[in-house]
A and B are shown apart, each in its own frame.
Chain A
Amino acid sequence: MSNNKKVNIFLLIIAVVLFIFLPRFLSGYMVRVITTIFMYAVIAQGMNIMSGYMGYLPFGNAMFFGIGAYVTAIGMSKGLPFLVVVPLAAITAILFSILLGLPVLRLRGHYFAIATIGMSAAILSVVQNATEITGGAMGTTLPIIDKDPSIVYNYFYLAMFGLMIITTLSLHFIIKSRFGFGIRSIKANEEAAISMGINTTYHKVVAWAISAFFTSIAGALYAYWMSFIAPDEVFDVMIAVNTIVIMLIGGAGSILGPIIGAFIIELFAEVAWSAFLEYHLAALGIIIIIIVFFVPKGVTGTIADFIKRKKIRARKKVSI
């Protein structure tokens, strides 16, 4: 293993340890904020594998978040313990991704993005109206954890953190693998990828299933954490929009991008909320435009470009 890698791993372990002990020094409010950041990072990673690496934007990916939340709520209302419901939620999400993905992912191009918007809206509508099963538009409750609040939010802090670490590591190894090259080839040039023997439909469907898997578990955790969920909250189109913005500002197609992006966006939200209360919608809109115009490759992309330019300049100096 190269020295560079050893240093990176060492730094990562330090960061992980820091984050694990961080709650001791923070208020309950901040712990909850950071838990939300971890959650958004997971959802953004789900989008990252599809859009950042493969070039297929699942605009409606929040549907898996909602599915995860609702399967958890329904399962626990039937008396099933949390740790049993979570795999159920994940499996349900994966099934949806395969059933809905197969017909649409056979095609190339933009259709997928639009289709997912429609699917998400359709699922939202159905959940809102199937009151006997889902509790309807008013929402539904989950069993409250009978413990001290600080224990509860610390538990979910660690759980979300763990989920984020697992998601990020999984993505890291997937992208480096043979399968990962297949995914990246689809984004790079789908026609060429096909001509090289890559079964692109298979890759697209599996990638979406992976995305659905992690996103739904985030939803499951969220539901249990909040003890109450409502359809227009967990299927909210704003989840998707925020996730896309996070992915963009952090840097699509990079492993750490979604995490960095989640921190930046949450930071902005905290600051902007009080400063721009009446204009927070327009503020977000303007932020999006600024990001697209000035930092389209996000933080990680811009840094990578900067490093590349430095290397080229260094090489030029040497050759003179």
Chain B
Amino acid sequence: MGLQMLMNATLLGGLYALMGIGFSLQWGISGIINLSYGAMVMLGSYISLEFFNFFHIDPFISMIMSGAILFVIGAIIYRGLLQPFLKGGIVFTLILTFAVRLIVENIILKVWSADYRTIRLVYAGSNFQLGDVYIPLTKFLTFITAGILIYLTYLFMMNTKIGKGIQAVALDKEGAQAVGMDVEKMYMINFALGTALAGLTGSLWASIYSFSPHLLGPLVGKVFIIAILGGLGNIWGAAAGGLLLGFAETAGAGFLGSQWQEAIGMVIMVSVLLWRPYGLMGKKFFG
């Protein structure tokens, strides 16, 4: 694998890592397999699109709005739709999150149509060079931002009262309840954090790639792979999973042609599933 390919893979992997963490947290801690996750990412992209078109605000700044809006949406979805049915088993949470996806998909289609959209940044074309390797500026900024956001998430989990509360609930629900923690609130905040990360990812995505409702499904596929590779509820595992997927896709596209890109990811995931069902990192641990 040439250095350029390595660089491309890493830059892509960083974005995937951020994306995967949100989904992994929702699944691993809140216990929700969120089939609307791809739709949440895309909402982030479209929110940044509107901020760019109307207020000329750069997605790296409007991503804060995306994150905030998606946080609130996530909290509402969890509290209003999912919490009442947690006891119903996986059928209900899967089908309900799928229902959310359908509704969001329809909204996106109505408002923005199925056409691919882009955010044309002034500096979109520029790149800089590191030796023989070309690094596109937007991808570089995205990678750095993703890294910062991941680290901030980690700090949040480790150092804030709520973050530690979420960890406590993840490790021992009954214990947390016994010390008087509002367990459902923790699950809700965790879920909302997940959608916020999705929204942030969407904004970053929009700075580099074009986007459309067609991506809704494939994005869910990708975060599945990341979560399964890296283990559930595990920030660094998901990050590693994201990087791995970035590498696998880039290598697959490079060696086999881009049509095998998605297939590669899928086959890898299924192989990991069959061999180590709890992910490469093993059962939940907090890094």
Contacts and interface: CB of A to CB of B under 8 A. Distances in A.
Direct contact of A and B (CB under 8 A): yes
A1 to B, nearest CB: 35
Contacts of A279: 106, 110
A125 interface: yes
A125 B107 contact: no
A297 to B, nearest CB: 10
B88 A126 contact: no
B147 interface: no
A113 B90 contact: yes
A16 B176 CA distance: 57
A133 interface: no
Contacts of A292: 85, 88, 92, 95-96, 99
B269 A107 contact: no
A122 B266 contact: yes
B144 interface: no
A51 B110 CA distance: 35
Interface in A109-162: 110-111, 113-115, 117-119, 121-122, 124-126, 128-129
Interface residues of B, number: 40
Contact of A285 (B33, B103, B228, B275): B103
A282 B263 contact: no
B88 A125 contact: no
B95 A245 contact: yes
A286 interface: yes
Contacts of B109: 281
B81 interface: yes
A270 interface: no
- Binding site secondary structure of chain B: helix
A157 B85 CA distance: 38
Interface string B89-108: 11110111011111101110
Interface residues of A, number: 42
Contacts of A286: 99, 103
A115 B103 CA distance: 25
B153 to A, nearest CB: 23
Contacts of A115: 270, 273, 277
Contacts of A128: 259, 263
Contacts of B224: 114, 117-118, 121
Given A118-B269, A119-B273, A248-B91, 8 more contacts: A59-B94, A104-B273, A121-B221, A237-B217, A281-B102, A285-B101, A286-B103, A292-B92
Interface of A: 51, 55, 57, 59, 100, 103-104, 107, 110-111, 113-115, 117-119, 121-122, 124-126, 128-129, 237, 241, 244-245, 248, 252, 278-282, 284-286, 288-289, 292-293, 296
